[in-house]
Structure 1
Amino acid sequence: MNQASARFALVLSALLAGTAAHAETAAPKPAPPPVTPYVDLRYRLELVDQDGLAEQAAASTLRVKAGIKTAEWHGFSALVEGEAIVVLGETSYNDTVNGKTAYPVVADPSDVLLNQAWLRWRPTAEFEITAGRQAVNLDNQRWIGSVGWRQNDQTLDAARVTVKPDKGASIDYLHAWRVNRVFGPDSPQGIWRDTDIHGVRAAYTIKHIGTLSAYGYWLDVPSSPASSSRTLGVRIAGELPVAGKSSILYAAEYARQHDHGNNPRSFALDYWLIEPGFKAGPVTLKAGYERLEGNGTVGLQTPLATLHAFNGWADKFLTTPVGGLRDFYLDAGYKVPGKGPLAGLVLRGVWHDFGSTVGSTAYGREWNALASYPVGKHVVLTAKLAHYDADAFGTDTTKLWLQIEAKF
C-alpha cells in the first residue's frame, strides 16, 4: 500500500468510527409507554382548637388518588383520575355536610369521585387545547387554583387553549361551565353548576428578570351570586441574581374588581400586592403587603383561588370581610443542602398582622410554622402549625397537621 492509500485508509477509518460514535450518541430515546399509571397516597391528622366551639376537631383522613395518563398520539393525549377520601376512626369534626356544628370545620368530607378526565390536542409545540375536568393553576393561584392542600382538589369542567407565539411568551384562554369545589358533591356549595366563567392571561418571561403577566377573569356564578365578578390585573414576579448564590426576589401585582353577572351589589375594589425578598443559598426571606379592598358593604373576593396559601394557614379569611383585608407578613425559610441525613429538610416560619382597609380595625395576628422532610424519592413527611390570635375578627384558633404522602 503506497503512502496516499495509507492516508486515505486512515481518514476513512476515522470517518467510519466517528459516524458510528455519532450514531450511538444520537440514538433516539425509547418511546414512552402508551399508558402510564400513577398513585398518590396521603394520610393526614388535622387537629383544631377554636374558641367559641364546645368540641375540638380531630380529622384522621386518607386520600387515595390514582389515574392513568396516555402518551401523545398524533398530538392527542388524555388523563383519567379518580379520588377517594376515607375517614379513619370517628368523624370528630365538622366536614361541612355531617351537621356536627359543635366541632370546628375541617373541609375534608369522605367521598369517592372522578377528580379529572380530560382530552388534550397539541398538534404543535406552540398550540394546545384541553377539554374536560381539569386542575387549573394560574400564576401564584391567587385568582384560580386547584386548592392542593385540601384532600379533595378543586377542579373545573372547562376548555382551555394555550398559545405560545414566541419563546417566553404564552396566551391562555379558559372557559368553565362547572366548578367542582373542595366540599364535595354532597354539599349545597360543593358544585357550582351552569357557571359562565372566562379567563384570559398573557405572560412573557424575561431571563434573569421574571415573568410579566396581564389577566382578566369574568365570573358569573348562579349558585353563588356574591362570587360573580370581573377582575382585570397585572403582575410581575421574578428573581435577580446578585453576588455568589444570592438573589433578590420580587413580586408586585395590581387588580381592579367590579361586580359582574348576577351579583346583586355594585362595587369597584382594588387589589394590591408588594412582596420583596432575598435568597442566599438555602435561606429565603420575604416581606409582603397584600391588600384586598372593602367598602364597608362588600369586600373583594377570590373564590376560585387556592385560598389556604394566602392570609394565614388557619384559614380565617377565606372570605374577605366587608371592611376589606390588609395583610402584612414576614416569611422565612431554610432548606438543608447537601447529601447528609437531613438533606432536603424544609423549615419555614410566617408571621401575619391583619387589619381592615376601611378605618383602622385590627383583626388579629397569626403565626405559622412548617417542617417537611423527604424520605427517599417517593415519600414526604410534613408537620404544620397555625395559631391565630384574634382582636376584632373571628376567634382564637390553633391548628396542627401531621401528614405523610407517597407518590408513585
Structure 2
Amino acid sequence: MNTKKSIAVAICMGPLTLAQLATAGSDDLVVPAAPEAKQIGDYLKPVFDVRLRYEYRDQDGLESSNSITARARAGLMLKDLHGFSALVEAEGTVALLDDYNSGAAGARPFNPGQTAISDPENLEMNRVWAQYERNEWAIKAGRQRIIRNNAAFIGNVGWRQNEQTFDAAQLSYKAEAASISYVYADQVNRIFGKDAAGGAKEFEGDFHLIDGQFDSPIGKVGAYAYLMDVENVTKVGNNTVGAYNTFDLLSGKLYLEGAYQSQGNSNSFDYSSGYGHAHYTLSCEDTKQSFSFGLEYLEQAFVTPLATVHAFNGFADAFIGDRIGLSKNNDGTRSNNYEGLSDFYVKYTKKGLPYGLVGKAHAHYFLTDSFDNSYGWELDGVLVKKFNENFTGLIKAAYFFGDSRPDIAQITTDLSYTF
C-alpha cells in the first residue's frame, strides 16, 4: 500500500494528527476490531443462596424445641445499565422438622408451650427494588435490605432464616471520606413472615432514618437520627439520635457510642432514655487472633425494634424481647422484671485453627441499668469452616446461666451455599 492510499484509509478511519499523517505507512495503520456485542449475561446476574439448619433450644419452664429448616433465596439482578440497576428476589423457608415454636401467632409451627425458635415456614418476595446511580449519588426504591453501622439500631436480622426488609425509598451520597443517607419507609417486614399476626408480621407507620459518617483526624465519626412513628405497635415507636467514633488507641481500636431516645408516637406514653456502648479491640495479625472487651448499656425504657438483636447481648437471645420493646406494657412499664441492661463482655477470635477453622468465644455478665441486680451470665462459642468461596459451615452454642431469669441452652449448626 503506497502513502496516498494509506492517507486515504486514515481519513476514513478518523482524524489523525498532522504528524501521524506525515509518517503514515503500511505498518502504522491497523484497523481496530469492531467492539464485541453485549451479551445478555453482561446485564443480568442470577442471585441464589440456600441454608440448611438444625437448631436445639431449651429454656427453663418450657418444653425444649428441635428444628430442621431449609431456606432458599432466588432472584435476578439487572446490573449497571447506564446507572440503572434492579433486583427481584423471592425467599422461602420450609420446616423439615417442626418440633418447635416459631414464636408468633399465625406463623407455622406455633406451639406456645415450647421454647421459641424464630424460623417459621414462609414464602414471600424478599427484595424488589430499582436503583439509579450518578456520580456519588444514588436513589433506591422498593423492598430492600438496610443495615446501618453495626446493626445495633437498623439491621436485616440476617442470623434468622427469614430476613427483615424495608419497603422504602432511599437517597444517599457517598464520597471517599464521607457518606450520608436518608430513608423513608412505611413498612418493615419482620422475620416471622407473611402469615404472622399483627405486629409480628410487620411494623407499619412512618420511619425516617438519617445516617452520616466521615473520616476525621480522630478516626471515623458517625451520627444518626431515627424517627419512628409505629402505628400498629405503638409501644415500640421512638425518636433516637446518637453518634459514634472509632479511633486508634495504643495497638488497638476503641469504639465509643452514645444515644438519646424519646417516645415517637403522639398517642403513646412519654419517656426519655439513654444508651451507651464502648469496646476496645486488639488484633494480633501475626498470630491471627483478636481480643475485645466492652460494655453496652441500655436504660430501662430504651428499645431497638429494628435492630439485628442476635448480634448483641449473647447468642442465647435472653434479652431479645426486652431490646425490641415487646416486653413493654402500653403505659411504658415492663412486664418481666426488666430494669434496663448493662452487658459487660469479653470476646476472643482465633483464625488459622486446624482444618481451616475460625473459632470464637464470648463471655457476658448482665446487670440492670443501675448495676445493683444481676440477671445472670452467658458463655458462647462458634466454629466456622469456609470450604470455598461459596460454601460455608457453622456450629454455634450458647448457654445463659440465669440469676433472676430462666436458664437457656442453644445449639445451632448450618450449611450455607451462596452463588
User: Structure 1 residue 350 and structure 2 residue 353: aligned?
Assistant: no
| Contact persistence 2:47–2:89 (CA under 8 A) | no
Q: Aligned equivalents of 1:381 and 1:193: distance in 2?
A: 33
Q: Aligned equivalents of 1:239 and 1:38: distance in 2?
A: 38
Which of the residues 209, 212, 215 maps onto 1:199?
209
After superposition, the Cα gap between the structure-2 partners of 1:286 and 1:128, relative to the gap in structure 1 and judged at 3 Å, is same
Look up the SS of the partner of 2:315 in the other structure: coil
Q: For 1:150-299, what aligned pairs fall within 5 Å after superposition?
A: 150-164=160-174, 166-188=175-197, 189-192=199-202, 194-206=204-216, 210-238=219-247, 247-262=251-266, 264-281=268-285, 282-294=288-300, 299=301
Percent identical among aligned pairs is 32
After superposition, the Cα gap between the structure-2 partners of 1:271 and 1:193, relative to the gap in structure 1 and judged at 3 Å, is closer
Look up the SS of the partner of 1:45 in the other structure: strand
Q: For 1:132-151, what aligned pairs fall within 5 Å after superposition?
A: 132-151=142-161
User: Structure 1 residue 117 and structure 2 residue 128: aligned?
Assistant: yes
After superposition, the Cα gap between the structure-2 partners of 1:304 and 1:263, relative to the gap in structure 1 and judged at 3 Å, is farther
The equivalent of 2:60 in structure 1 is 51
TM-score (normalizing by structure 2): 0.83
Shift of 1:160: 0.8
* Deviations, residues 102-132 of structure 1 (Å, cap 9, x unaligned): 210001110111000000011x231001100
Shift of 1:74: 2.0
Q: Aligned equivalents of 2:266 and 2:318: distance in 1?
A: 26
| Contact persistence 1:226–1:263 (CA under 8 A) | no
Look up the SS of the partner of 1:72 in the other structure: strand
Q: Aligned equivalents of 1:239 and 1:342: distance in 2?
A: 33
1:81 maps to a residue whose letter is: E
| Contact persistence 2:203–2:233 (CA under 8 A) | no
TM-score (normalizing by structure 1): 0.86
Q: Aligned equivalents of 1:239 and 1:104: distance in 2?
A: 43
Deviates most, 210-219 or 327-336: 210-219
| Contact persistence 1:178–1:191 (CA under 8 A) | no
Which of the residues 103, 106, 117 maps onto 1:106?
117
Look up the SS of the partner of 2:195 in the other structure: coil
The size of the alignment, in residue pairs, is 372
Q: Aligned equivalents of 1:156 and 1:255: distance in 2?
A: 23
After superposition, the Cα gap between the structure-2 partners of 1:108 and 1:348, relative to the gap in structure 1 and judged at 3 Å, is same
Q: Aligned equivalents of 1:92 and 1:357: distance in 2?
A: 36
After superposition, the Cα gap between the structure-2 partners of 1:363 and 1:145, relative to the gap in structure 1 and judged at 3 Å, is same
The equivalent of 2:91 in structure 1 is 83
User: Structure 1 residue 92 and structure 2 residue 103: aligned?
Assistant: no
Q: Aligned equivalents of 2:66 and 2:204: distance in 1?
A: 35
Shift of 1:39: 1.0
* Deviations, residues 116-174 of structure 1 (Å, cap 9, x unaligned): 0000011x23100110000100000011000000000000000111013x421111101
The equivalent of 1:40 in structure 2 is 49
| Contact persistence 1:192–1:221 (CA under 8 A) | no
The equivalent of 1:72 in structure 2 is 80
Unaligned runs of 5+ in 1: 1-11
After superposition, the Cα gap between the structure-2 partners of 1:262 and 1:315, relative to the gap in structure 1 and judged at 3 Å, is farther
Look up the SS of the partner of 1:152 in the other structure: coil
The equivalent of 1:4 in structure 2 is none
Q: Aligned equivalents of 2:164 and 2:136: distance in 1?
A: 27
Look up the SS of the partner of 2:196 in the other structure: coil
Look up the SS of the partner of 1:145 in the other structure: coil
Which of the residues 374, 386, 391 maps onto 2:403?
391
Shift of 1:38: 2.0
Q: Aligned equivalents of 2:203 and 2:375: distance in 1?
A: 34
The equivalent of 1:304 in structure 2 is 306
The equivalent of 1:323 in structure 2 is 339
* Deviations, residues 30-52 of structure 1 (Å, cap 9, x unaligned): 98721100210100000012111
Q: Aligned equivalents of 2:188 and 2:248: distance in 1?
A: 34
| Contact persistence 1:225–1:262 (CA under 8 A) | no
| Contact persistence 1:227–1:263 (CA under 8 A) | no
Shift of 1:202: 1.1
Q: Aligned equivalents of 1:359 and 1:352: distance in 2?
A: 14
Which of the residues 361, 368, 378 maps onto 2:390?
378
